[in-house]
Chain A
Amino acid sequence: MSDTIQKLKDLLITRLKLKVKAEGITEDTPLFGLNSLGLDSIDVLELIVGIKKAFGVEILDREVAEKIFTTVGSIARYIEEKR
Chain B
Amino acid sequence: MNRPAAENVTIYAPRPCRLLDVQQLTPQEKLFRLQLADGSDLGHQPGQFVQVSIPGLTEAPISVASSPSRSGYFELGVRRAGRLTAALHQLQPGAPLGIRGPFGRPFQLAALQGRQLLLIAGGCGLAPLRSLIQYCQDHADDYASVQILYGARSPDDLMFKQDLANWQISDSFTCRYTVDNRPASSCYDGETGLITQLLADLRPDPAICCAVVVGPPTMYRPVIAELRRMGLSGARQIMLSLERQMRCGVGKCGHCSIEHLYCCSDGPIFWLEEVEQLRGALG
The answer to whether A and B interact is: no
